[in-house]
Amino acid sequence: MAQIQQEKNKLNLTPKRFNMWVFIFTSFMFFAALSSGFIVYSGGKGHALNVILPDAFMFSTAIIVLSSVTMFLASKAAKNLQFGKQRLFLWITFLLGVGFFIAQIYGWYILTYRMGVYFSNPNASQSFIYVFSGMHLLHILAGLVLLIISLVGTYRNTPQVLNLFRMEMSSIFWHFVDIIWIYLYVFLLLNQN
């Protein structure tokens, strides 16, 4: 344990951890501001969403919740020095993240081509669906990059302290994007009519 603490001190990972929390806080505030903007705009008469969300968004929600479970299992395996399991669960999390991304794009396809809900719509409330999900997809891309960095580290001779740090950062961020999507999905569900 003393050796791990020495390695942590040597690598000086605290500023990086602090930066991650600052980024998460600013992202949280960004999505809160978007939500407030939607509430203010849709508060006027005739500006309700007036659209039923495609089932693809419900499926993508299930996918991202499952990916949080596999991310937890990857972190647990890393702590128990089970690197094979860590890799397996990281790969599953990554693939579920890609599946989430695809399901969201398919949801946009349904909105646009089957339901006639466009980004540049006279009812700007409906445009918020694209803004919410699009900004969230940018965060998913960032999460996928973190997962790749963690995965690459498992195939190299990475010190355990760095492996655990990468897993911690990936985990925190991945669970954050999971929680944000659940919030956004429920928010849109409650405002769809």
- Write the pLDDT tens digit of every residue in 110-130: 988 987 777 776 667 788 888
Q: Output the pLDDT for position 2.
A: 55
Q: What is the mean pLDDT of residues 45-73?
A: 88
pLDDT band of residue 40 (cuts 50, 70, 90) is confident
Q: What is the DSSP secondary structure assignment for residue 53, as one 8-state letter? A: P
pLDDT of residue 190: 85
Does residue 1 sit within a domain? no
Residue 134 included in any domain:
yes
Residue 107 belongs to some domain of the structure:
yes
* CATH number of 163's domain: 1.20.120.80
Domains in the chain: how many in total?
1
Q: Return the pLDDT at 44.
A: 57
The pTM (predicted TM-score) of the whole model is 0.87
Residue 12 belongs to a domain: no
| Residue 16 pLDDT | 79
Q: Which domain range does residue 182 map to?
A: 54-190
